[in-house]
């Protein structure tokens, strides 16, 4: 299952994964809620990029494995955040 709001599919040394862009609207510890096109809210694991201190309002590009677990928030296996 690939997300409807996907911006791209990337193939590199991590394998094939999907990316999307969004804005951080809430941070709780190492997890953030990212708002993207189509009113999608996705739970993102920020700990995959410990070199950056993310803040609410940051525009981010998120890479994940293409699998979305549906709930109140879309849940993904975060592979990258920039």
pLDDT tens-digit profile, the chain (82 residues)? 334 444 566 666 666 578 899 999 999 999 999 999 877 899 999 999 999 999 999 999 999 888 888 777 778 888 888 8
pTM, entire model: 0.76
* Alpha-carbon distance values, 14 to 11, 18, 52, 64, 78 (Å): 7, 11, 20, 10, 12
């Amino acid at each position: 299952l690939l997300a409807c709001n996907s911006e791209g599919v990337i193939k590199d040394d991590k394998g094939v994964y999907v990316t999307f862009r969004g804005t951080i609207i809430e941070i709780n510890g190492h997890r953030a809620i990212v708002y993207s096109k189509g009113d999608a809210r996705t739970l993102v694991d920020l700990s995959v990029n410990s070199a950056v201190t993310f803040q609410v309002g940051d525009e981010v590009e998120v890479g994940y494995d293409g699998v979305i677990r549906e709930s109140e928030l879309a849940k993904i296996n975060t592979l990258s955040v920039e």
